[in-house]
Amino acid sequence: NTAADSAAVDVSARAQQLRDALNLYNHQYYVLDNPTVPDAEYDRLLRELQDIEGARPELKTPDSPTQKVGATPLSAFDNVTHEMPMLSLDNAMNATEFADFYARLQKQLNDTGDVELVCEPKLDGAAVSLLYQDGVLIRAATRGDGETGENITDNVRTINNVPLRLSGDYPQRVEIRGEVYMPLAGFEAYNQKALAAGGKVFANPRNAAAGSLRQLDSKITARRPLEFCSYGLGVVSDDFALPATLSDIFQQIHSWGIKINPELTVAGSLAEAQAFYAGLGDKRHSLPYEIDGTVFKVNNLALQQRLGFVARAPRWAIAYKFPAVEQMTELEQVDFQV
């Protein structure tokens, strides 16, 4: 069947084309902090590749962008090997995809009842791991490609709300994970000053945060208005009994003197989770920082463990995105078509 044969070749060629484009965009975004296409366009191409690989698993290569997190770290910094990989999050782009995620949880857990979800804003910054030994900050690292990140300890030490020493009752060794972001007021003030001085402005707060964190001179980072907010833990030494739920872990993290998000809530059902998404969407533009969606995570840690991970993301969490604000017009999109 020649028609079917040539369609198969087309799909395989298209997959290669998508892999090449996505690898290039990843490099521009993660390594150079300089994206050349809007996120919505990147997401659309990634989805297309995921759909092709879903329908034709033999076309999935081990180095496919669908299997990878971020990009290889810059050699300007020392490497840090993450004891627990720092993964990405799967996305839901609309209400149906979010309901599908919830139904999948119930199916995988073999339980048709409600699943408690922790609800958080999805901060638009850069993922950072903070390692505390005996309560003292001894290392900070970027996510990098998930396995290996960059050692940015000197830079992170300059962020005002990152405690150099934990308070209260903490594990001997604990890795606190979260997002470093540039609040909007600081971002706008920075760009205004840069503009007045004829300097380079940042495209958005995410690039501002990622770029500021990867300065070779930490005095420059110190002048950037950055903040840290935790969204979870990495490795924890076993001298410490962790609570059974993520929401209680957040209270624990807070008691150590670390910022957690004030919007953080627990939803007891799908309807409550949807209401959180709608409510956060309404106040999105009055928040002092940029967000691009909500993150939902299974609250019960034993259930998280049963659900486990896929290649690049946990099965127990999802990023439910807000509609893209930077969606381009149809005419402009033609230029970005690959």
**Are 185 and 226 spatial neighbours (Cβ–Cβ below 8 Å)?**
no
The secondary structure element, H or E, covering residue 320 is strand 317-321
Smallest gap from Cβ 138 to ligand NAD, in A, equals 21
Considering only 231, 276, 277, 316, the residue that binds ligand NAD (CB under 6 A) is 231
Give the chain's largest Cα–Cα span.
71
Residue with tokens 């970027």: 142
CA 298/CA 316 separation, integer angstroms: 5
| DSSP letter (8 states) at residue 22 | H
Quote the strand ranges of 124-225, DSSP E: 126-133, 136-142, 148-150, 173-181
Q: Does 179 bind ligand NAD (CB under 6 A)?
A: yes
Question: Closest approach of Cβ 197 to ligand NAD, in Å?
Answer: 27
Any binding-site annotation on 42? yes
Query: What SS3 state is found at 279?
Result: helix
Of residues 80, 72, 91, the one with CA closest to residue 313:
91
DSSP H or E stretch at residue 190: helix 184-196
Site size for ligand NAD, by CB under 6 A?
Answer: 22
Q: Is residue 97 annotated as involved in ligand binding? A: no
Q: Is 43 assigned a ligand-binding role in the annotation? A: yes
Determine phi and psi for 304, rounding to 5 degrees. Answer: -55, -45
**Annotation says 122 is catalytic:** yes
Options 60, 68, 107, 122, the catalytic residue: 122
Contact between 156 and ligand NAD (CB under 6 A)? Answer: no
**At its nearest, how many Å lie between ligand NAD and the CB of residue 3?**
35
143 near ligand NAD (CB under 6 A): yes
Q: In this chain, which stretch among 24-32, 53-61, 148-156, 218-226 interacts with ligand NAD, using CB under 6 A? A: 24-32
Whether residue 143 is annotated as binding a ligand: the answer is yes
Q: Which is nearer to ligand NAD, 12 or 314 (CB)?
A: 314
Instruction: Find all residues with CB under 8 Å of 312, minimum gap 6, and list them.
Output: 66, 67, 68, 69, 87, 88, 146
Out of 15, 21, 26, 131, the only residue in the binding site for ligand NAD (CB under 6 A) is: 26
Of 39 and 227, which has the nearer Cβ to ligand NAD?
A: 39
Q: Taking the complex as a whole, how short is the minimal distance between the CB of residue 86 and ligand NAD, in angstroms?
A: 7
Residue keyed to tokens 């972001």: 181
Could you list the residues that contact ligand NAD (CB under 6 A)? 25-26, 28-29, 35, 37, 39, 42-43, 69-70, 88-89, 120, 122-123, 127, 143, 179, 231, 295, 319
Residues annotated as catalytic are 122
